[in-house]
Amino acid sequence: MKKAVKRIYMGIIFLFLYAPIIVLIVFSFNKSKSRGQWGGFTLDWYVDLFKDRQIREALYFTLLVAVLSTLISTIVGTIAALGINNMGKFSRSVILNINNLPVLNPDIVTGVALMTLFISVKIELGFVTMLIAHIVFSIPYVILAVLPKLRQMNKHIAEAAMDLGATPSYALRKVIIPEIAPGIISGALMAFTLSIDDFVISFFTAGTSATNLSILIYSMAKRGVKPTINALSTLMFTVVLILMLIINKKSEKGEEILL
């Protein structure tokens, strides 16, 4: 009886959380503009979505920032994780506590702090500042994804490779990176997902010259929700969901290999 009650309770919670998303997805295929009635199935709103120049530009900026920030944060985060892993216990603890601050802080705190920093050093808000902001909040997640793989790796493997004549850079490329590749891939996917999904930090650091999809949806929603917004939100939700499923699958495979 208790199990049944718990399952019903959890079902109600999940229904409460996901019902708005389900409604949004369903009405993105609604022929009628009204959200109060079903006018039949259509893909017109998805067609109109890609005809809109403003949306295409926002999509371009979103993907460009996501790809660049993912590449840079993955490289920097991986190098940082290698350095942190080789530190002493006290130094590693201090650096990890600093690294966790952007993860634990609310997005609005990070966004306002970065905006204040850019303004104080007289950097004009725009594409560059938004890119820097995305790199800053993505790096900690990459570090947290790579570090467990470094700890699982036998620390003597690289030493053995160098004893056999490999240079440090060769050992890094051919021994260490292949061993921690699942963590690097998970970190990169997480960084890409966070960048696409981010609104608050982008809102405070983008200025007026650069607009991504999340900012565009927010500005369009203030004038009234259009069916094209439902279509756009559905596409964004689908992309993020697929990426999260890939990340979880990679994590499960890593755990299986470890076991």
Sign of the dihedral through C-alpha 162, 166, 169, 175: negative
Average pLDDT value for residue range 91-113? 86
How far apart, in whole angstroms, are the C-alpha atoms of residue 258 and residue 7? 32
Tens-place pLDDT, residues 51-92: 878 888 888 888 899 999 999 999 999 999 988 888 888 888
- Indicate the pLDDT class of residue 258, thresholds 50, 70 and 90: very low
Highest mean pLDDT out of 29-43, 192-206, 222-236, 237-251: 192-206
- Identify whether the C-beta of residue 26 lies closer than 8 Å to the C-beta of residue 40: no
Average pLDDT value for residue range 148-152? 85
